[in-house]
Structure 1
C-alpha cells in the first residue's frame, strides 16, 4: 500500500543520512522526504479514467491520482510502456536505474529540478497523509500547492543544487521493489520485461510473507514512521 511504501522509504532515507551527500537540516530533511516520495514512483504504472459515473474521474494508484488528470494520463502511458502493473517499473535492476537516470537529467536544470522535487514531495505527502493533520495534502489543488511550495523552498535553500537527487530517487524506488518482493504478488525477475520483447517469458519472484494490505503491513508502516523520526532527529541533533 502507498503508506507502507512511503514510510519504509522515509526510514531508509533517514538510515542513510550518515552517507548522504547533503548538508544542514534542510538538506537532511529533503533527502529523507525524497526517499519517501520516490518509494511510490514504481506504482506510476497504474492510471486511467473511469467513465462509470456522470462525470469522469481519475483512477489508479495513489501517486497516479495525486494531481488528477495530469498524473493519471501520464501513469496510463507509463503503464503501457512498462507492460502493466508490477512489471517494468518494478524491475529490481532496471527500475532504480531508469528512475535515477531521469532524476539525474532533471537535476541539471532548475525548472526540471523543481518539477521533480514537487513530484516526489507530493507523493510523500499523499503516502504519509495518515500522520499529517488535515486533508489539504490529499486534494489535487492542495497537493500541487504544497508540493511546489516545498520544492521551491528546498531549491532556494540549496544554492549548490540537488546533485544528490538521483541517488535518493533510485534508493526510494529500490525500497518499493523490495517491499513488493516481500508480498505474495512479488516482482519480476531482473530484466524480465525487456527480455519478453525478444520472445522470452516474463517471470516473477516473491518471498511471499504476506498479502498486500494485510494487518502486518500497517504495523510495519507505523514502526517505520517512528524509526524515521528518531533517526532524523538523532542526525540533526548530533
Structure 2
C-alpha cells in the first residue's frame, strides 16, 4: 500500500482501539492515535528510498540500510506478522523507560505521520528534513510534557506494525509466511490488490478517513462538543 494509506489505516486503528489502549486523558489519547498512525509506516524502514528512510536524511537512511540487511530485504523480516511486532515491540519496551529514547520514538511516529499525510497539510515544511525534525520533535516534547510516562509506546508500535502488515497482505506482493519464511522463502498474497490501484485510492483511503473521524467521535470527548453544534445546525 502507499505511504499515506498505511498512515491513514494506522490512524483509524489507533482511534478504534482507544477503549483498550493503556492511556488516560485527551493528550495521551491524541498521542496514542498519532503514534499508531506513524508506526504503521515503520516496517518500510527495510527499504531504501521509502518515506521513512528519507524522512530525516542520513539519520533515517543509514539505519534503513542496516535493517534491510538484517531482516532479509524489503517485505521480509519487518513484515512478518509474528516477528515484526515482537521485535519492534521489544525494542520499544527498552526505549520507553528512558525519557530521551521515548522522545525519539514519539518524534519518529509524528514525523512519519506528517510525511505520509503531507497531501492534506498546508505548506511543505513537513516534507523537508529540517522542517520535519523540528515539527516532530516539538510535537513529541509537548505531548510528553503534558502526559504521563509513555509506557504504552510498545503497544502502539505493535499495533501500528500489525496494521501495516495487514495492509500489505492485501497487495499483490503480499507478506511473508510468519516465521516459516526463514526456512523457505514464501509469501501470502490472496487478494493481489495492486499498490496505488483505484480501489486503494478511491475506496480504502476515504474509508480510513471516515473511520478515523467516526471512532474519534465515539471514543473521545470530542462528541460532547460536536453534538450541540450539530443540534444547532439542525
TM-score under structure 2 length normalisation: 0.91
| Partner residue, 2:82 | 93
Question: Does 1:207 pair with 2:187?
Answer: no
| Partner residue, 1:181 | 169
Alpha-carbon shift at residue 209 of structure 1 (Å): 4.0
Alpha-carbon shift at residue 236 of structure 1 (Å): 2.2
| Partner residue, 2:229 | none
Question: Does 1:23 pair with 2:12?
Answer: no
Question: Does 1:221 pair with 2:205?
Answer: yes
| Partner residue, 1:66 | 55
| Matched-pair contact (CA < 8 Å) for 1:185–1:208 | no
Alpha-carbon shift at residue 18 of structure 1 (Å): 1.0
Q: Distance in 2 between matches of 1:78 and 1:9?
A: 22
What is the DSSP-based 3-state SS (H/G/I as helix, E as strand, rest coil) of the residue aligned with 2:102? helix
Q: Write the mapping of 1:52-201 to structure 2, written as runs, cut at 5 A.
A: 60-158=49-147, 160-193=148-181, 195=182, 200-201=183-184
Q: Distance in 1 between matches of 2:78 and 2:157?
A: 13
The CA deviation string for residues 121-177 of structure 1, in whole angstroms up to 9 with x for no partner, is 10111111112121111111110000000110111011x300111111100000000
Q: CA RMSD in A?
A: 1.2
Number of matched residues? 220
Alpha-carbon shift at residue 20 of structure 1 (Å): 1.2
The CA deviation string for residues 4-49 of structure 1, in whole angstroms up to 9 with x for no partner, is 00000000000011111111111111100111000000000012xx
Give the unaligned 5+ runs of structure 2: 224-234
Alpha-carbon shift at residue 222 of structure 1 (Å): 2.5
Q: Distance in 2 between matches of 1:32 and 1:144?
A: 20
TM-score under structure 1 length normalisation: 0.89
| Matched-pair contact (CA < 8 Å) for 1:91–1:192 | no
| Matched-pair contact (CA < 8 Å) for 1:41–1:63 | yes
Alpha-carbon shift at residue 223 of structure 1 (Å): 2.2
Q: Distance in 1 between matches of 2:153 and 2:59?
A: 23
Question: Does 1:5 pair with 2:2?
Answer: no
Q: Distance in 2 between matches of 1:106 and 1:223?
A: 33
The CA deviation string for residues 197-219 of structure 1, in whole angstroms up to 9 with x for no partner, is xxx32111112241111111113
Give the unaligned 5+ runs of structure 1: 48-59
The CA deviation string for residues 164-201 of structure 1, in whole angstroms up to 9 with x for no partner, is 111111000000001101111000001135x3xxxx32
